[in-house]
Amino acid sequence: MSTQQEQGRLWVVATPLGNLGDMTPRAREVLASVDRVAAEDTRHSSRLLHHYGIETPMVALHDHNEAQRVEGLIAQMRDGASIALVSDAGTPLISDPGFRLVRAAHAAGIAVAPVPGACAAIAALSVAGLPSDRFVFEGFPPARQKARRDHFAALKDEVRTLIFYESPHRIEASLQDMVWAFGGTRQAVLARELTKTFETVLSLPLADLAARVATDLNQRRGELVVLLAGASEAATAGDGELRAMLTTLLDYLSPRDAAAVAARLTGERRNRLYSLALEVHDGLQRDA
């Protein structure tokens, strides 16, 4: 028998986002058959296991103890134990703990096997109505405003659809900073409480979405995914509306003043609008 066969295995098991009907039969089978379940929050996961009558022992594995727990878990798998890794909801490692354990298992020659299932980022992308052939997952933005704005500003020209997670107590400020960085006309989607009782999917220009969340407490509750159109999509969708607005404003204002007013109305950067206003102005002069 080979060394690989004698060792245990690490199973990375996706669990439901909320609706327990999304638990796959294979996930139930693996969780019931392994020697131990490494869970982000054992209290949360115990309710899931209890629902399915699974009595597998659990050990906590979260951001604060993962570095200390990895060596012991690897030793158990080297001795033949099989361990299932789960997060509180969805697919482990996607903005959840587990990376150190998976990497250490590979380094130790222990087989790592996925048990696919729900993932909030992918579920949100599937219903967002934004381009899904190319996208980038950015996880949680920085907590502090300066770092968050710098992070968003660095992504301003990203052409792929952007996907973020955000917490309820930061979503309002985060959306306002997105308006600052990406402009108010960028198409955005807020996917909230996916698969749960109060699931909502809002698709609005970013400034309108920020205003909606600021005035509706319900949209600041639960698990939140924010998606933004990439820069190329935003340019295609937004420039026509901006040009139409500037055309009207230029009937009464100079290009500089028209850009200033448009910036106040849309949240777009004034420099970009001024360049666009000059293009529109020149076009109107040629057509006159």
pLDDT, one tens digit per residue, over 80-98 is 999 999 999 999 999 999 9
Backbone angles phi, psi at 183, to 5 degrees: 90, 155
The domain defined by 121-229 folds into 3.30.950
Tokens of 256: 């500089």
Residue type, 76: Q
Residue type, 239: D
| Domain 7-118 classification at class level | alpha beta
Domain boundaries, the chain: 7-118, 121-229, 234-287
Distances (CA, A) of 1 to 5, 7, 257: 6, 10, 79
Domain 7-118 and domain 121-229, same fold? Reply is no
**Coil vs helix vs strand at 104:** helix
Tokens of 94: 């996607």
Q: What is the pLDDT of residues 6-27, one digit of tens each?
A: 789 999 999 999 999 999 999 9
- Tens-digit pLDDT profile for the chain (288 aa)? 344 457 899 999 999 999 999 999 999 999 999 999 999 999 999 999 999 999 999 999 999 999 999 999 999 999 999 999 999 999 999 999 999 999 999 999 999 999 999 999 999 999 999 999 999 999 999 999 999 999 999 999 899 999 999 999 999 999 999 999 999 989 999 999 999 999 999 999 999 999 999 999 999 999 999 999 998 776 655 677 788 889 999 999 999 999 999 888 877 778 878 888 998 888 888 776
Longest dimension (CA), the chain: 86
Sequence-distant (6+) residues with CB within 8 A of 248 are: none
pTM for the full predicted model: 0.79
